[in-house]
Chains A and B, each alone.
Chain A
């Protein structure tokens, strides 16, 4: 479930960080944002918000690539045992007693 939590955390960040950036610019949380003109404020807040979304995505992809490669798929052991038994049953009589097969029984 650690995987699901990583996904949920990434999604949550993807939503909250850009909106936080936008509100930070609009309500003067960042030091220089009071002195910007309206136009520059819109441009900077918008571009930084978009960049922050992309940063979150890149971090998530990096953390996803770092996961250890998955183990090979394990077939159901009972199925494998049955399959092997059925193959052995087909081949077994011919391999073990080749001479007995040649004697035809009528």
Chain B
């Protein structure tokens, strides 16, 4: 941005600069938990719906599944035994949600109050942007990770019904899929570690 834009009082650059860093931080925290949970829920319902559908058709699966769902008691009683594949997929999707919670807790501990005179210091703007970026990183990485694990889980449900020996191969693919969320969390944590507000 050239300097003329900064001095003019009604430019877009000036408008962006006048947004409080606390706004950016709050939006970052909200996105980190909100969008990660969106990804986790999406993954769980994709896996869950194909598991339940397969359970109706194939009695072997019915006696083997454990599904984390809050459905009618009939369906819940139909799934009474552990099926390692189904449960691990649900647990992987849940881990995605928990990464979002962890980062949200870390980010909200990074929020400090600064006096009003220092609110638009470069240092505090940097902190606000760092928290915002960290939240976006974690949120969207977990969103796609949850989707990925969910779609893998739904195909795995159907293929494992046919051939139980495929489980280990599918687990390997699933671990690579959940590594995506892990990358996002690591980068988000490192990003947020440098969010220091100016001291009073």
Contacts and interface: CB of A to CB of B under 8 A. Distances in A.
Interface residues of A, number: 33
Nearest to A69: B164
A69 to B, nearest CB: 9
A73 B60 contact: yes
Nearest to B164: A69
Contacts of A26: 109
Interface stretch (B11-19, B99-107, B118-126): B99-107
A64 B185 CA distance: 26
B102 A1 contact: no
B91 A73 contact: no
A38 B103 contact: no
Interface of A: 1, 3-4, 6-7, 10-11, 14-15, 18-19, 22, 26, 38-40, 42-43, 45-47, 49-50, 53-54, 57, 60-61, 64-65, 67, 70, 73
Interface of B: 59-60, 63-64, 66, 68, 80-82, 84, 87-88, 91-92, 94-95, 98-99, 101-103, 105-106, 109-110, 171, 182, 185-186, 189-190, 192-194, 196
